[in-house]
Amino acid sequence: MGQEIRSAHFTGRDFARFQRSLCAETELLRQWFSQQRFAAGGSVAGFELEAWLVDGDYSPAPINEAFLERVSSNWVTPELARFNVELNGQPQCLRGDALRVLHDELSRNWNDCCRVAGELDADLVMIGILPSVREQQLTLANMSGLRRYRALNDQVFRLRHGKPLHLDIVGREHLRTTHYDVMLESATTSFQIHLQVEPATAVRFYNASLIVSAATVAVSANSPYLFGADLWDETRIPLFEQAVELGGFGDAAHGPLRRVSFGTGYARESLMECYLENAEHFPVLLPMTFDTAPEQMSHVCLHNGTIWRWNRPLIGFEDDGRPHVRIEHRVVAGGPTVLDMIANTAFYYGLVHYLARMPTRPEDDIAFALARDNFYAAARFGLQATITWLDGKKASLRTLVLEQLLPLARIGLQTLELDADDIRCYLGIIEDRVRSGQNGSAWQRAYVESHGRDMQSLAAAYTERQHSGVPVHQWSV
């Protein structure tokens, strides 16, 4: 979805041309996988951070065009709404001081962006769902001006035959509403962790990413409120899944798979299985054809960008043109601080590297359906969730993280030969957060319990503490 398109209006001929190009590129990609054409090398780290622009009242400020003009950086880009932007990180080989380099880069870019926002009498907030956002602000009038977003909205509702979206989330409270565009999606902002992997181990890393998602979503939960309702610990998960719901709609030749989901199963032989599923089961949303060689995978990448698995395979390219394989871990919320997010990153990298390199495959010990159930339980109940781990035993997720997962993550990071002080620092943040029980969601609920359900006040207090840089487990109420 990062690719801009030339037109937001499409004909049947556009869909037919796109489908032909998609089929040709998908076949070429199948050959690449079977012939091991992908670049080898060590693990490479990267990230994308989605953030909110807010005004003096801590309400969404639809000013990203003016903001981006002042920032003038290729590493800061627009998002779906005019009050959202995205910060991207320079890829880093995952060894030595890579975690500290990622931390320093994100801190520097974040501070620069906050300074620019201040020049516009605004502020910048990283959080899963901004508690002060109101449904009436999520309208097409606040959609970013890029054509791809208008086209996305038009095509989603074409496939829905014009029927509105029905949001229905049961959490601590019950929220039901009807919405008439895709702008609900803009209320969900995340910290997406990228991991470039060796082609030979890509399946192991993808499946391990699915398994660890329950732990990473619970540890990083930062989205308890939506439109004033107290819902899941990570309400961003059901909100995004329902914001572009197309299951049961569209071409009858395609299955009723959801565009946003945990996926349909583990990978078995290669990540090509995900791209075949894309081509066979998901109607094309944006049939923009490109005058590019099939080797650039323009149509495959655009189509894959409209299918939002919580762990999504990506095809990228080295500077010399060789393709590579990445995994995009999408379950982590934005915020509460840069330090917290790099700690979340370290936890994911360490844990996934340990599981992916186990002598026995962990996916043989935990069924996909169980890994999926663990994920949704963790998104709903956070650190208080009970999940089933590899030994088949049920355990409190909080206890599991402290007693088993943090030690495994530490071994995984040590195997990567990352700096020992950085490992202690970032995993120490996770340990202290989990011991205290105070992640972003827990702090927001504690604040509301003490001060009442004033979402503007909550957003203001959150932003003030975020700017302090102090990790969330140390925040006062």
pLDDT tens readout for residues 210-245: 999 999 999 999 999 999 999 999 999 999 999 999
CA–CA separation, 217 and 377 (whole Å): 10
Q: Is the pTM of this model over 0.85?
A: yes
What is the structure's pLDDT at 42? 84
Residues sharing a CB contact under 8 Å with residue 305, sequence separation 6 or more, in sequence order: 1, 2, 3
CA distance 19 to 158: 18
Q: Which stretch of 7-21, 27-41, 94-108, 190-204 has the lowest confidence by average pLDDT? A: 7-21
Backbone dihedral angles phi then psi of residue 326, each to the nearest 5 degrees: -125, 155
Query: Closest Cα partner for 212 from 93, 20, 347, 413?
Result: 347
pLDDT surpasses 90 at 427 = yes
Cα separation, 24 vs 189, in Å, equals 34
Per-residue pLDDT band at 8 (split at 50, 70, 90): low
Q: Is the pLDDT of residue 448 over 90?
A: yes
**Confidence grade of residue 3 (pLDDT, cut at 50, 70, 90):** low
Residue 77 buriedness (CB in 10 A; 0-12 / 13-18 / 19+): middle
Report, as an integer, the average pLDDT of 374-378.
98
Q: What angle do CA 396, 308, 170 make, to 5 degrees?
A: 50
Residues found in the chain: 477
Checking if the pLDDT of 397 tops 50, the result is yes
Does 158 score more than 80 pLDDT? yes
Residue 477 pLDDT > 80 = yes
pLDDT at 180 over 60: yes
| Span 55-74, average pLDDT | 96
Amino acid letter for position 61: A
pLDDT attached to residue 246: 85
Taking 90 as the threshold, does the pLDDT of residue 257 lie above it?
Answer: no
Note the pLDDT tens digit of each residue in 101-138: 999 999 999 999 999 999 999 999 999 999 999 999 99
> Given this model, what pLDDT does residue 2 score?
54
Q: What angle do CA 62, 160, 135 make, to 5 degrees?
A: 30
Local confidence band at 9 (pLDDT 50, 70, 90 cut-offs): confident
Question: Residue 291 CB: number of other CB atoms within 10 A?
Answer: 5
- What pLDDT was estimated at residue 253? 40
Spell out the SS3 assignment of the chain.
CCCCCCCCCCCHHHHHHHHHHHHHHHHHHHHHHHCCCCCCCCCEEEEEEEEEEECCCCCECCCHHHHHHHHCCCCEEECCECCEEEEECCCEECCECHHHHHHHHHHHHHHHHHHHHHHCCCEEECCCCCCCCCHHHCCHHHECCCHHHHHHHHHHHHHCCCCCEEEEEECCCEEEEEECCHHHHHHCCEEEEEEEECHHHHHHHHHHHHHHHHHHHHHCCCECEECCEECCCECHHHHHHHHCCCCCCCCCCCCCCCCEECCCCCCCCCCHHHHHHHHHHCCCCCCCCCCCCHHHCHHHHHHHCCCEECEEEEEEECCCCCEEEEEEECCCECCCCHHHHHHHHHHHHHHHHHHHCCCCCHHHCCCHHHHHHHHHHHHHHHHHCEEECCCCCEEEHHHHHHHHHHHHHHHHHHHCCECHHHHHHHHHHHHHHHHHCCCHHHHHHHHHHHHCCCHHHHHHHHHHHHHHCCCHHHCCC
Mean pLDDT of the chain: 95
Tokens for 373, please give them: 């159930």
CA distances from 354 to 130, 347, 447 (A): 34, 11, 36
- Residue 153: how many CB atoms within 10 A of its CB? 20
Percentage of residues of the chain with pLDDT beyond 90: 93
Residue 41 has pLDDT above 90, yes or no: no
pLDDT, residue 289, reads: 87
Q: Which domains does the chain have, with CATH numbers?
A: 12-472 (3.30.590.20)
Q: List, in order, residues 6 or more apart from 199 with CB less than 8 Å away.
A: 33, 36, 38, 39, 40, 325
Residue 254 in this model has a pLDDT that exceeds 60: no
Give the residue with greater pLDDT, 267 vs 250: 267
- Please report the pLDDT score of residue 72 as a whole number: 87
Quote the CA–CA distance of 258 and 249 in Å, as a whole number: 10
> How high is the pLDDT of residue 251?
45
Percentage of residues of the chain with pLDDT beyond 70: 96
